[in-house]
Amino acid sequence: IASCLVGSEMCIRDRFVCLLFGLSFLGGEMKAQQKSAHETGLRSKSTSELAELEQVITKVNYDESKVPVYTLPDVLTLTNGRKVTTKKEWVEKRRPELLRLFETQIYGKAPVRSKDLHFRLLNEDREALGGLATRKEVAVYLTKDEKHYLTVLMYLPNRRKGTVPMFFGINFKGNHAIHPDEGITFPSEERMIAYGRKRMFPRGSAASRWPVEMLMEHGYGLATFYRGDIDPDFDDGFQNGVHPLYYKKGQTRPAEDEWGTLAAWAWGMSCAMDYFETDKDIDAKRIAIFGHSRLGKTTLWAGAIDPRFALVISNDSGCGGAALSRRKFGETVRAVNCQFTHWFCRNFWQYNDKEDTLPVDQHELIALMAPRPVYIASAEEDRWADPKGEFLSGVYASPVYELFGLPGLPVKEMPAVNQPVLSGTIGYHIRSGKHDINLYDWTQFVKFADKHLK
């Protein structure tokens, strides 16, 4: 458009044609942005909120020399200043203290799961994927009336003896999007209304992130459910999703220290785990949970609150996930809170631009997994998620693993790109490329799980 208006070498007719192209391109862009606003939770933002967000995002730092000098809270020092020197003190004193701080200040407290939780096998195909796997869909009902539920999709390798270990993670686009397999149920109209969506992503559209066949060949099961089953990913003041099911009389939204959407998704993972414990085909003691990006943040929190998960994998989880908040590199606490007003509990907003006053930092979230193995994955071009901050969380969580006589993350310097560190109880890699979860990431996760779960 600019060149049509000011370019000097174009004739009038070319200017006109270019202008038309430019305007129609802009129209398409605006439509795409409106769509993505719906997807990302920007739907209910006022003009002033959008202006604030733009300002926050343009101020983001990507210069390592401008990372502020910071002091991290020591993972092995209690709030009262006493040092933790034994496993017992960690388990009985420091861990519960940290868990409570993360719960009340960052993610929000989730309610105890209802006794009405119950399960039903919806369908099973023992000859799925050309005979490679058994596919099951299971409803995990959250209420007695069965109006609220999540649908867990599972694939189990047919070549197996006894129970299998399994990878389990929430998906972004719907169960049907993880594989072109026509046998996966496509969400009904009624479900789409519950999700607040007019249409769903096409079948198999997220398949590059879900190497189902590869996992079957390595002897792992795979389970997933759609995030919208627990809480659609936009801010509607917590009227849809599971939150209202647990409001006290007169309550209309979660209190300052109560669950946001990420904590609700993590809570949903525990509901699915309640089902896995009843399934005779899988070994519920060998379940590795994983998640990419916002679902990576969710997975770390799920691993922290539910010790039944045996191994925890964070992929590009960034701010509010594996990255240290105090580094303020890439996405900051204010940036994530302004853009995704529904993800964390309201108390987390107190730390906007005040990361130094946080009573915890994210290395302590990693430490909450100890002594269970945890894997942190970053991507070189994903600077928004601060790969170095993700790596350092693993380094600074390691003293807790060492209390258990385990190596934690065995390197202190960031490894080179595509040189995974698989030998410790904390694993790490930074791969080349963008913010995504791909076969390279999965190859490392499987190697790490082979070491710890087999």
How far apart are CB 294 and ligand GCU at their closest, in Å? 3
Q: Is the dihedral of CA 449, 451, 453, 454 positive or negative?
A: positive
Distance from C-alpha of 365 to C-alpha of 210, rounded to nearest angstrom? 26
Closest CB 449 distance from ligand GCU, rounded Å: 23
Query: Contact with ligand GCU (CB under 6 A): which of 157, 165, 291, 318?
Result: 318
338 and 44 in contact (C-beta within 8 Å)? no
Are the C-beta atoms of residues 137 and 122 closer than 8 Å to each other? yes
Q: Does 293 bind ligand GCU (CB under 6 A)?
A: yes
Nearer to ligand GCU, 137 or 441 (CB): 441
| 243-282 footprint of ligand GCU as x/- string (CB under 6 A) | ----------------------------------------
* C-beta closer to ligand GCU: residue 24 or 33: 33
Is 342 an annotated catalytic residue?
Answer: no
331 binds ligand GCU per the rule CB under 6 A = yes
* Region from 72-80, 152-160, 331-339, 420-428 binding ligand GCU, contact rule CB under 6 A: 331-339
Residue of 292, 293, 393, 398 marked catalytic: 293
**Considering only residues 95, 136, 243, 294, which one is a binding residue for ligand GCU as defined by CB under 6 A?**
294
The pair of three-digit structure tokens given for residue 437, joined into one six-digit string: 């979860």
Q: Does residue 232 belong to the site contacting ligand GCU (CB under 6 A)?
A: no
List the beta strands (DSSP E) in 25-148. 118-128, 133-141
107 φ/ψ sector (left φ>0, alpha ψ -120 to 50, else beta) = alpha
Smallest gap, in angstroms, from Cβ of residue 331 to ligand GCU?
A: 5
* Cis check: omega of the bond before 371, within 30 degrees of 0: yes
Q: Toward ligand GCU, which CB reaches closer, 140 or 335?
A: 335
Closest CA to 371 of 317, 310, 432: 310
Query: Which C-beta is closer to ligand GCU: that of 221 or that of 296?
Result: 296
Which tokens go with 214?
């590869």
Q: Is residue 230 within 8 Å of residue 150, measured between CB atoms?
A: yes
Amino acid at 278: T
Interface mask toward ligand GCU for 372-411; x: CB under 6 A: ------------x---------------------------
Active site residue 435: yes
**Shortest distance, CB of residue 75 to ligand GCU, whole angstroms?**
23
Alpha carbon separation from 35 to 56, 172, 199, 436 (Å, rounded): 22, 15, 11, 20
User: Residues in contact with ligand GCU, total (CB under 6 A)?
Assistant: 8
Residue whose entry in the numeric block shows the structure tokens 């972004």 = 172
Q: Does 319 bind ligand GCU (CB under 6 A)?
A: yes
Nearer CB in complex with ligand GCU: 339/347 = 339
| Distance in angstroms (rounded) separating the CA atoms of residues 398 and 366 | 9
Residues paired with residue 140 on neighbouring β-strands, in sequence order: 119, 150
Rounded to an integer, what distance in angstroms lies between the CA atom of residue 165 and that of residue 281?
9
336 binds ligand GCU (CB under 6 A): yes
Q: Which of 250, 274, 96 is nearest to 168 (CA)?
A: 274
Minimal distance, residue 175 CB to ligand GCU, in Å: 18
**Least distance to ligand GCU from the beta carbon of 263, Å?**
15
Per CB under 6 A, residues contacting ligand GCU are 293-294, 318-319, 331, 336, 339, 384
Active site members: 293, 435
